[in-house]
Chains A and B, each alone.
Chain A
Amino acid sequence: MRRIAKLAANPVMIALVASLALAGCASKKTPNSAADLGLGAGAATPGSAQDFTVNVGDRIFFDTDSSSIRADAQQTLARQAQWLNKYSQYRIVVEGHADERGTREYNLALGARRAAATRDYLISQGVAGNRLKTISYGKERPVAVCDDISCWSQNRRAVTTLSGAGS
């Protein structure tokens, strides 16, 4: 009883269990993609924007007040570059963002610097410079909204966004 009550209180959990069950059945017939199962990860059509976001990783993170590309970010950017070189139809806008622990104008500049550092790293990995643009949002577009370090570290980011071919 307890267990059921707990599950009922968590609809996400229930949905996930249902999906897995479905996957179990489906796999007997054909090797469906994960997208059919509603699972998300690994589900996207190769070469799609979703594929880039989910399977490659569209963002990297920075240390406080820094625009240095960290080791973990270098790995992400290497994967991004590989993907972008394979799917060369996309144009790319790199967004630079800052956390809220700085003043507005300085953070616009800091976001610009992060976007440029990210762009330069992608170029160093073979992505054509004329496909890349940058934009800074400073601290104006946070993704995480709490007032502590756990959120600030998610907001200090550069996001590689795809803008369709030839746009």
Chain B
Amino acid sequence: MKKFLTTLMMIGALASGMSALVTLPAHALVEIDVNKGTIEPLPIAITDFEGAGLGAEISGIVSADLKRSGLFAPIDNAAFIEKISNPDAAPRFDDWKVINAQALVTGRVSQEADGRIRAEYRLWDTFAGQQLAGEQFFANSANKRRIGHIIADAIYERLTGEKGYFDTRVVFIDESGAKNARKKRLAIMDQDGANVRYLSNGGAIVLTPRFSPSRQEITYMSYEGGQPQVYLLQLETGQRELVGKFPGMTFAPRFSPDGQKVIMSLMRDDGNSNIFAMDLRSRNTTRLTDSTAIDTSPSYSPDGSQIVFTSDRGGGSGRSQIYVMGADGSNPHRISFGDGVYSTPVWSPRGDLIAFTKQSGGQFQIGVMKTDGSGERILSTGFQQEGPTWAPNGRVLMFFRDQAGGPKLVTIDLTGRNEQSIPTANYASDPAWSPLLE
């Protein structure tokens, strides 16, 4: 079922609304079935948007996003026959069909009198000979890259029927310096590696940041003051606060789907760890596990009814495995039974899969399994890699892999065939994907 971009969305941070130019309720011939095991990337022509400098920059962002998704194959501009002189007019579809461009994107970027950027795009189905979508956006110039990502998301959604994930950010740990004296800084960037901003100065070890699903807020662990504890950080104000007052180390935090709770591990005096949830409004904490084992890396199901976590309570040679329990701690049961050690389970935002790290045969693997543990699929194998995080549409995972002396960020889609590196200036680890921005 395809959705049409008929609604006018308000993009909050863009400070202005946008309106659709034209949207025809056509039955598109061009489409991508993302549920197929093998996906042939769709040939798409993305013309340089009209408008000095900025136009081509923004269409370039659109092209790069779509290409990295693995679902689209942008055609080299040098092959274009028609030079688009008026992005509002219907193109000569035959000129695009002959170079096998099944979809065509045209657009224009201009500067408003008040300094804002205005960007318009049209998406054409060349074989059906019709326009599939057309929208315009206004943004202040600081958000120009977001315009490109928003247009890429719109095209992705129009042609796949799935929400995109390009207008998103990633919070991560920036790592620099020698391996035995690594400086770790909290950092945030766009999902494509642009616009890096540092959120801590590197004075204390920081680890495992995670996004709130509902607010511009992250939770993470820091060693500041000598006691490793879980904190909250408001991204807009920079305000920080400790999550609860506990006698021991707190770690492995993650938000509940409604953003009202933080679930995390608390180290007991005997050195073992249990899982607690803290309600951020009432500050009440609830103990969810009470075992003489390591219970950690909790992650809620998207409906908030269940929690998946890592535990070594089973003992033996299996070491840590993946367990699922009710959100109240009821009925914990093991779901991973493959040959290896499992950890870092993360529930897909779609609810259908759990991503994990598996150690097996001296390798580290990133994989997914159904929520009952069946249907395990390994997507990536490497010497040292871990920590998957889901794109908000549940189609792509980002994780970190040690290579050439330190960790770097990598994405892989659910087919396991489209792996992409995320460029970062320094080493980078512990990525956590934001929801789609609003």
Contacts and interface: CB of A to CB of B under 8 A. Distances in A.
Contacts of A138: 207
A96 B294 CA distance: 15
B338 interface: no
Give the secondary structure class of A's interface: mixed
Interface stretch (B29-37, B136-144, B270-278, B414-422): B270-278
Contacts of A116: 269-272
Nearest to B357: A103
Contacts of B384: 100-101, 147
Contacts of A112: 248-249, 267, 271-273
Interface in B296-311: 296-297, 310
B320 interface: yes
A117 interface: yes
B294 A113 contact: yes
A102 B228 contact: no
Contacts of A96: 271
Interface string A103-131: 11110111011111100000000000000
Nearest to A118: B271
Interface secondary structure of B, over-half rule: strand
Interface stretch (B16-24, B177-185, B186-194): B177-185
A142 B180 contact: yes
A135 B251 CA distance: 12
Given A112-B249, A135-B249, A106 B180 contact: no
Interface residues of B, number: 40
Contact of B310 (A65, A106, A140, A144): A106
Contacts of A106: 294, 296-297, 310, 320, 343-344
Contacts of B50: none
Interface string A85-107: 00000000000100011111110
A113 B294 CA distance: 9
A67 B188 CA distance: 36
B346 to A, nearest CB: 11
Nearest to B320: A106
B359 A134 contact: no
A80 interface: no
Given A65-B319, A105-B310, A145 B271 contact: no
A114 B273 CA distance: 12
Nearest to A145: B179
Contacts of B251: 105, 108-109
23 contacts: A65-B319, A100-B402, A101-B384, A103-B310, A104-B344, A104-B430, A105-B297, A106-B296, A106-B344, A108-B207, A108-B251, A108-B296, A109-B251, A109-B265, A109-B267, A109-B272, A109-B294, A109-B296, A134-B271, A135-B226, A135-B228, A145-B178, A145-B179
Interface of B: 178-180, 182, 184, 205, 207-208, 226-228, 248-249, 251-252, 265, 267, 269-273, 294, 296-297, 310, 319-320, 341, 343-344, 357, 359, 383-384, 386-387, 402, 429-430
Given A103-B387, A108-B228, A109-B296, 15 more contacts: A96-B271, A103-B310, A103-B386, A104-B344, A105-B265, A105-B310, A112-B248, A112-B271, A112-B272, A117-B271, A140-B205, A140-B207, A143-B180, A144-B180, A147-B384
Interface of A: 65, 67, 96, 100-106, 108-110, 112-117, 134-138, 140-145, 147
